[in-house]
Amino acid sequence: MRAAESEHPAGAGPGSAGPPPGSAGPPPGSAGPPPGSAGPFGRAARWWLAPAPAERLAALRIAVGAYALVYVVARFGELIATARLPAAQLQPVGVVRVLRVFGVGAPLPAMAAVAIAALTVALLAAFTAGYRFRVTGPAAALGLLWVTSYRNSWGMVFHTENLMVLHALALACAPAADAWSMDRARRGAAGAPAPPAAGYGWPIKLLAALTAATYVLAGVAKLRIAGLAWIDGELLRNQIAADNLRKALLGDWIAPLAIPFLDHPSAFTIFCALTMVIELSAVAALAGGRVARLWALGAWSFHLGVVLLMNIWFPYPLLGFAFFPLLEAERPFSWLIGWAARRGTARDSRVG
């Protein structure tokens, strides 16, 4: 497997997914810009379907799949414990509501819940490796949706997993295993598959749009619930104080910057204004390039601030996975593949 740069040149920038600067046309491996009608809809469709390298989409499949795989494995003990909770505590959310639709008022038998989680682990491994992706991709995404929804159906809805699930669902609908996958390796000498006419750019934009949507929703929620008064900082200060006090009284770690800032209310006005700007400007990240990188840095800093002020961790954005669709995601993978190839060549030459 060769590095992406030598096989499929990277696009113009994150989100834009267009051809590299100075090139005459779309990157190889894409079907080229779509023909379309003139007018706003046609222009929007052409922008949305603009080409991107297959490796960028593959990198997102590997990153999101690997994250989800580690996430489910790491929480397996908790999933087993959840499966044994009393039936009275079940408050179905999302797809778990189908249990009630089918007249099943009780939780799944514990063995069934654990078996679904175990199957999801296997499917996520296949998803990440790109093994028979047309089947395992959607199955893994649906398994992840079920497992995380079931975990959230016991009285407390967590907000750390939403975007991971949405990204997995989007990737499952895309040709994300046309590069850097077992499917691609199995084709071997037959060569690369014919690129789909829709290209590989749209799923990358879709993932970026889903990232943006979650931040916009969070900003809109603050305006709907508290209005512009949210920006004065008092509400956030109370939230941070109450959250940290609960942690302190129950002997848990409190956030390192909470106490220094609680005595300075004006600082929270600044935090709130910055938060609102980051959340409501998320759509701008779809423009790609420097704007997307700047926004991603701002959003990542926001999550770092949440850790420092509230000791609440959102690992998916903190580790950068939420913002990967806004960047040239294939670069670290290309570097790794190139590095491994160079090491292999060096070893062969020493043996020879």
Partner 1 sequence: MPDRSRVAALIVSVGLIGAALSPLLRRPYDDGFPLSTYPMFAAPRPRQLTLRYPLGATADGRRRYLSPELVGSGEVLQAYAIVDRAIAQRGAAIQALCEAIARRVADSPAHRDVAAIRLVTGTHDAVELLARDRVGAEIEHGRCDVPRSGR
Angle at CA 72, nearest 5°, toward 66 and 73? Answer: 85
For 197, list phi and psi in degrees, rounded to 5: -60, -30
Binding status of residue 269 toward partner 1 by CB under 8 A: no
18, two tokens: 């267009």
Handedness of CA 272, 277, 279, 280 (dihedral sign): positive
Binding status of residue 258 toward partner 1 by CB under 8 A: yes
Q: Of 206, 285, 292, 322, which one interacts with partner 1 (CB under 8 A)?
A: 206
Decide: 91 and 154 in contact? Cβ < 8 Å: yes
CA distance 65 to 128: 5
Binding status of residue 82 toward partner 1 by CB under 8 A: no
Residues in 3-32 at the binding interface with partner 1, rule: CB under 8 A: none
51 vs 17, 18, 55, 81, 299, CA distance in Å? Answer: 6, 6, 12, 45, 27
The residue count of the chain comes to 352
Binding status of residue 303 toward partner 1 by CB under 8 A: no
CA distance 248 to 13: 45
Torsion of CA 225, 228, 231, 237, to 10 degrees: -40
Q: What separation, in Å, do the N-terminal and C-terminal C-alpha atoms of the chain show?
A: 22
Binding status of residue 36 toward partner 1 by CB under 8 A: yes
Q: Which is nearer to partner 1, 247 or 331 (CB)?
A: 247
Binding status of residue 157 toward partner 1 by CB under 8 A: yes
Q: Please, what is the minimum distance in Å from the beta carbon of residue 336 to partner 1? A: 29
Give the count of residues interacting with partner 1 (CB under 8 A).
65
Decide: 321 and 164 in contact? Cβ < 8 Å: yes
User: To which residue do tokens 């070893």 refer?
Assistant: 347
Binding status of residue 94 toward partner 1 by CB under 8 A: yes
Q: Of 249, 348, 351, 352, which one interacts with partner 1 (CB under 8 A)?
A: 249
Q: Please, what is the minimum distance in Å from the beta carbon of residue 191 to partner 1? A: 20
Binding status of residue 69 toward partner 1 by CB under 8 A: no
Q: Of 8, 237, 293, 303, which one interacts with partner 1 (CB under 8 A)?
A: 237
- The gap from C-alpha 57 to its chain's centroid, in whole angstroms, comes to 13
Q: Which is nearer to partner 1, 180 or 268 (CB)?
A: 268
Q: What would the x/- binding string for partner 1 be over residues 127 to 156, using CB under 8 A?
A: ------------------x--xx--x----
Window of 3-11, 60-68, 82-90, 233-241 that interacts with partner 1 by CB under 8 A: 233-241
Residue ranges in contact with partner 1 by CB under 8 A:
34, 36, 45, 48-49, 93-94, 145, 148-149, 152, 157-159, 161-163, 165-166, 169-170, 173-174, 196-198, 202-203, 205-206, 209-210, 213-214, 216-218, 220-222, 224-226, 230, 235-239, 241-242, 244-252, 254, 258-259, 262-263
